[in-house]
């Protein structure tokens, strides 16, 4: 099957590469000419494990090409995926102007009926708006003497996680497709048949509105789970309990599960913060006050403020202090800093008058302009050397390899704020360090 993917960001590029892996012929389209040129050489412009090899092989096979031309992208295609961004506006609502622009592009340049699949995360009823835009364009074309082409609109939300996006796409928990006609489901089942045949996962067939709500409901629930355990962490700190043991015991209950119960710095990235705010806004427009999600968002903001509060408690005065920040990306194995909790920590430290030393294995280039006065370290040890304190913001594996004795030897003051519970606080305490970790009692060395 020939497929067009419009938008070559994290979602679009992973979708394109994985569809080629399933045996389809794919054309990726993007307006960014520099990105298109890079992709045509089989290069990937962001960090995602396994994706560079997937894209390079797909381009080399000749079954994955890239273009900035709508005519080339849509020629002969049976399915076109909308994979453009839906950034949030100031009121929390998603900005759908890019989705609307893609619909207009399809309407203007497609010369045959297509299945237009929403892959971008959009509010419920967006499919109807896309369908209306396509219908109006078809009617206008008919009035000018051209053929009236009717496209089918379906919703096919993605559930990939940055850092494991390729595996999540090729071995999904489920494939969700919303269509309002038998033809929509027929085409999409054919598209995903190679995946369904190789991997035992359900094909969830529903209508467009329900599919649109599934994505927002899924992300909002996972964000709520994260905020719940962070609220429990605050109680554990006050009670002198250990949130990790609490979460482990909770996770043994099959009704709860252990995933997304890691207390820490809260959620970030391009999906959860935006989708929680969007779901609150969508619910409000429909007449429902989603107070649970507003509290989820409040707890998440509280979690991001926790490290600076701990440093203030342990060091008294922060002005002039040198603070090493380990990790800038919102999670390991990605260079994505969109809504990264580490940025809130860095902003808070700078506002307190501290000087920050930043290290991240992949993401530093994305924050150099934002923090012109920061020190950018080539290694974690360089960031730690002579610093008055260290804050762990991203749980990169290379940070786990730092021994407690080495951390103690490098720091000028023995202060550690572990916002990801990466290190063993007892081992650090024995090395002479004072350790604040999330949802655990303060660990202090014996005097």
Which residues participate in catalysis according to the annotation?
A: 271
The partner residues of 64 in beta bridges, in order of sequence, read: 26
Beta strands in 294-376, from DSSP E residues, in sequence order: 322-326, 355-359, 375-376
What Å distances lie between residue 415 and 137, 226, 285, 400, CA to CA? 63, 26, 47, 17
The H or E element spanning position 203 is: strand 203-206
Closest CA to 201 of 161, 171, 156: 171
Q: 122 and 81 in contact (C-beta within 8 Å)?
A: no
Write the DSSP symbol of residue 99: H
Beta strands in 353-425, from DSSP E residues, in sequence order: 355-359, 375-376, 389-392, 415-418
Return all residues near 153 (Cβ < 8 A) that are at least 6 apart: 115, 116, 117, 118, 127, 130, 131, 134, 180, 184, 208
Helix (H, G, I), strand (E, B) or coil at 29: strand
| Cβ neighbourhood burial of 382 (10 Å; 0-12, 13-18, 19+) | middle
Helix (H, G, I), strand (E, B) or coil at 67: strand
Q: 362 and 327 in contact (C-beta within 8 Å)?
A: no
What Å distances lie between residue 333 and 85, 120, 173, CA to CA? 21, 22, 21
Phi and psi angles of residue 76, each rounded to the nearest 5 degrees, phi first: 75, 0
CA atoms within 13 Å, Cβ hemisphere of 25: 10
Q: Give the C-alpha separation, 33 to 407, whole Å.
A: 45
**Residue 355 CA to its chain's centroid (Å):** 29
Q: 13 and 54 in contact (C-beta within 8 Å)?
A: no
In degrees to the nearest 10, what's the CA dihedral of 338, 339, 345, 350?
70
Number of Cβ within 10 Å of residue 97's Cβ equals: 12
Q: Give the C-alpha separation, 2 to 16, whole Å.
A: 11
């Amino acid at each position: 099957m020939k497929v067009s993917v419009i938008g070559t960001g994290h979602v679009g590029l992973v979708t394109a590469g994985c569809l080629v892996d399933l045996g389809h012929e794919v054309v990726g389209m993007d307006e960014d000419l520099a990105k298109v040129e890079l992709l045509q050489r089989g290069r990937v412009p962001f960090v995602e494990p396994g994706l560079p090899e997937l894209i390079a092989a797909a381009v080399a096979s000749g079954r994955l090409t890239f273009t900035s031309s709508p005519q080339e992208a849509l020629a002969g295609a049976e399915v076109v995926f909308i994979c453009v961004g839906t950034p949030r506006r100031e009121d929390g609502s998603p900005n759908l102007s890019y989705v609307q622009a893609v619909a207009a592009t399809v309407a203007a340049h497609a010369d045959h009926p297509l299945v237009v699949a929403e892959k971008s995360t959009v509010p419920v009823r967006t499919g109807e708006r896309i369908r209306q835009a396509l219908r109006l364009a078809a009617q206008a074309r008919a009035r000018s003497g051209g053929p009236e082409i009717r496209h089918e609109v379906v919703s096919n939300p993605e559930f990939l996680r940055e850092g494991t996006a390729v595996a999540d796409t090729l071995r999904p928990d489920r494939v969700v497709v919303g269509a309002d006609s038998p033809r929509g489901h027929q085409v999409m089942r054919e598209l995903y048949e190679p995946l369904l045949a190789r991997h035992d996962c359900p094909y969830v067939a529903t209508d467009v509105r329900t599919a649109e709500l599934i994505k927002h409901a899924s992300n909002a629930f996972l964000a709520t789970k994260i905020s719940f355990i962070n609220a429990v962490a605050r109680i554990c700190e006050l009670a002198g309990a250990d949130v990790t043991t609490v979460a482990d015991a909770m996770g043994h209950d099959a009704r709860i599960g252990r995933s997304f119960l890691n207390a820490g710095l809260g959620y970030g990235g391009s999906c959860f913060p935006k989708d929680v705010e969007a779901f609150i806004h969508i619910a409000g427009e429909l007449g429902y006050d989603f107070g649970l999600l507003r509290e989820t968002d409040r707890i998440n903001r509280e979690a991001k403020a926790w490290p600076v509060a701990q440093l203030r408690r342990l060091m008294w005065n922060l002005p002039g202090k040198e603070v090493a920040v380990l990790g800038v990306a919102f999670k390991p194995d990605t260079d994505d800093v969109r809504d990264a909790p580490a940025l809130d920590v860095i902003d808070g430290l700078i506002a307190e008058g501290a000087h920050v030393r930043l290290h991240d294995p992949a993401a530093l280039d994305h924050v150099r302009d934002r923090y012109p006065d920061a020190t950018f370290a080539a290694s974690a040890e360089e960031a730690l050397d002579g610093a008055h304190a260290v804050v762990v913001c991203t749980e990169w594996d290379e940070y786990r390899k730092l021994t407690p004795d080495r951390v103690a030897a490098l720091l000028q003051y023995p202060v550690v704020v572990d916002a990801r519970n990466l290190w063993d606080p007892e081992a650090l305490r024995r090395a002479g360090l004072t350790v604040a970790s999330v949802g655990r009692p303060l660990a202090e060395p014996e005097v």
